[in-house]
Structure 1
Amino acid sequence: MSLLIKGQLRSDWLAEETEDGEFIRKDSLFRHWITPDGAPGPTGEGGFPAEPGRYHLYVSLACPWAHRTLIFRALKGLEDVIGVSVVNPFMLEQGWNFQPWPGATEDHVNGFEYLHQAYTLADPEYTGIVTVPTLWDRHRRTIVNNESSEIIRMFNSAFEAHTDQHVDFYPEAQRGQIDAVNQRVYDTLNNGVYRAGFATEQAAYERAFDRLFETLDWLEARLSRQRYLVGDRITEADWRLFTTLVRFDAVYYSHFKCNRQRLVDYPNLWAYTRELYQVQGVAETVNMDHIKTHYYSSHEHLNPGGIIPRGPALDFMATHGRERIDSFLPSGREY
């Protein structure tokens, strides 16, 4: 990532998000919504109607937050509706960049060399972290939103008139349960791995570590009784969890010192992760080369030599056996 202060580039982004030895993630600042008719969403201004070809997604294949949006783009059949540019996994001093790398792309929309250029085009006085995912409006030449949790909900519902994949990952009857699970998973696991990995004081690290494994234990027990996190079908909550789990053993266990147990030591969580990985279209969004290259090469304060581990060997395509738990699979698409 990179940090901009009134449009000026700074390299000390991590210091900006650390308080008393603890990593504190700042809120995303672009919070407009794409809606079917362009009406204002829950936050931000209106004028962003759902139109094929109008919006473009900037992502890193390494980033779990960006990964969520790629999964929703695939499962909602939006590949021909929303374009994508993929940054280089090695985050340089100027942050996310579009230098050549296998699996990365150029900036297909603006031709920028660095993602921070999109932020200063949208707001020349921008102050904040330059993050992925970033959802760009080609027409207004500005950033719509850079909050992954909101982008996936736009993808889930705003483009229904432009896709033939109508599965709803945020059904109204289950929203309260989904939100409650999301909150715990975000606080202690999605963001918890970063709180452990980026902690600069022992006490902060141990607090994050303990909360993280309390939640993994809770999830293991929950998934021993039901196939998915909320009810008997895949929801948004499952995909928000998945992008952390798929990185856990390869990165967070060692690089972020989250090493009480590996994911493969949790029978239900490991089988559940394999099942989600095997959903049609999901495996193509997982790029372990980008994931490992980014974390081990870009965080010099954690891994000064930049050595990328060759392991672990993880077989996400192994039989998962989760069908033994009764479940309902929505019609129209097999999961």
Structure 2
Amino acid sequence: MSEPGTYVEKSFKRDTNYITTRITADGRDGFPVEAGRYRLVVARACPWANRAIIVRRLLGLEDALSMGICGPTHDSRSWTFDLDPGGLDPVLRIPRIQDAYLRRDPEYPRGITVPAIVDIPTGAVVTNDFKQITVDLETQWRDLHRDGAPDLYPAELADEIEAVSEPIYRFVNNGVYRCGFAGTQDAYDKAYRRLWEHLDLLEERLSTRRYLVGDHVTEADVRLFTTLVRFDAVYHGHFKCNRSKLVELPALWGYARDLFQTPGFGDTIDFAHIKRHYYVVHKDVNPTGIVPLGPSLENWASPHGRQALGGSPFGEGGTPPGPPREVVPPEHNPALALIAG
């Protein structure tokens, strides 16, 4: 599941009890960085997994870290590999990611989440700690980065990245879920106000700077983008975050389009999977399972004008990643053809 959690006083509280084993350059936890040994399991629908998809692509880790993609829906057990022939992941040879968790612990008691990194030789999950996964890809896997890869987690900016990201996680990334899964009017009202207070602060911050921290894309931008790109399609209506649409917020809308049009961001987005996941799986929020046809998505290709604020996406000496290895079907993201054209 992408949003395991419980209700505390009728408000949503995310289960953050992840498997914290790390894959590091020195192998301190018994899992050294090694090209070809691990498989990243994701679902394009999930914003937390989307972070890892973007970072892997920006850093050019496709040859070093293969990727299995689950379909947009799941049952109470876990995400399934229903997009693959025969319903089996072609590398792990399992039908659902739960199987890799049970290889790690036959009585695994917590949420079955994506992203997860699986040790291919044993078939067991190494980690599902989504925040640490991307930071480690950025810092521990450096020897395997492509030439021209951006530094998404510069040591001199690490503290600022985390300081900016912490309230984004609390009030925006997780805040939309606290709105959508609120069990009382009071819990919803509190989550809604906190969400919009912080989005207003971000609108102000991004009105004078192109990126959240520094002069090029960092981990902080990846973390915010995956919520913004889902906002109008899902969170505005489905989660009742409806004070304004993203398209009505000049700085945030321009910022989101700037990132979307940057190779490695928009080309990872599957709007069809995103909408199908939220509107079909969340039966408590949308009992009919009807998936809306809107909103229009072509506007993600419209000019943003953010270059006037300075900076560059990949920093000095950085270059964009090549064409994506795992291609989103054009009908699932119509803006991509307009950008390419």
For 2:188, the aligned partner's letter is: Y
Give the structure 1 partner of residue 339 of structure 2: none
Mapped contact 2:255–2:306 kept (Cα < 8 A): yes
Letter in 1 for 2:288: G
Q: Which position in structure 2 is the counterpart of 1:10?
A: none
Q: For the residues of structure 1 that align with 2:320 and 2:94, how far apart are their CA atoms?
A: 39
Letter in 2 for 1:27: T
Distance 1:226 1:192 in 2: 24
CA contact (8 A) 2:176 2:235 kept: yes
Give 1:142 deviation, angstroms: 2.3
Amino acid at match of 1:325: L
Separation of aligned partners in 2, 1:127 and 1:288:
31
> Retained in 1: the 8 A contact 2:72–2:277?
yes
User: What does residue 13 of structure 2 align with?
Assistant: 24
Q: Is 1:320 the equivalent of 2:299?
A: no
Cα separation, 1, equivalents of 2:15 and 2:317: 39
Q: Structure 2: 5+ residue runs without aligned partners?
A: 322-341
How far 1:326 sits from its partner (Å)?
2.2
Alignment of 1:290-305 (within 5 A): 290-305=273-288
Other-structure match for 1:33: 22
Identity in percent: 44
Match of 1:157 in 2: 139
* Structure 2 counterpart SS, 1:129: coil
Q: 1:210 deviation in Å?
A: 0.4
Contact 1:87–1:105 (CA under 8 A) maintained in structure 2: no
**Cα-to-partner distance string for 1:226-281 (whole Å, 9 max, x where unaligned):** 11111222111011000000000000000000000110010010010011111113
1:113-128 matched pairs, under 5 angstroms: 113-128=95-110
2:317 pairs with 1:331: yes
1: CA distance between counterparts of 2:90 and 2:159? Answer: 38
**1:198 equivalenced with 2:178 (yes/no):** no
SS of the residue aligned with 1:316?
helix
Give 1:134's match in structure 2, choosing from 116, 120, 125. Answer: 116
What secondary structure, in the 3-state scheme, does the structure 2 residue paired with 1:24 have?
strand
The CA deviation at 1:105 is 7.2
Structure-2 change in CA distance of 1:25 and 1:110 (3 Å): same
Measure, in 1, the Cα distance between the counterparts of 2:57 and 2:87.
Answer: 18
Is the Cα–Cα contact under 8 Å of residues 69 and 152 in structure 1 kept in the other structure? yes
Letter in 1 for 2:261: Q
Structural mapping, 1:59-98, within 5 Å: 59-98=42-81
Give the residue type in structure 1 aligned to 2:304.
H
4+ runs of 1 displaced by more than 4 Å?
A: none
CA distance in 1, matches of 2:170, 2:255: 21
Conservation of the 8 A alpha-carbon contact between 1:137 and 1:144: yes
Bigger drift between 27-36 and 105-114 goes to 105-114
Matched-pair contact (CA < 8 Å) for 1:85–1:106: no
SS of the aligned residue for 1:56 comes to strand
SS of equivalent to 2:114: coil
Deviation per residue, 1:293-326 (Å, 9 max, x gap):
0000001111111110000013211111001112
Q: 1:294 to 1:172 in 2, by over 3 A?
A: same
SS at match of 2:165: helix
- 2:256 aligned partner, one-letter code: T
**TM-score, length-scaled by structure 1:** 0.90
Aligned to 2:261: 278
Residue of 163, 174, 192 corresponding to 2:157: 174
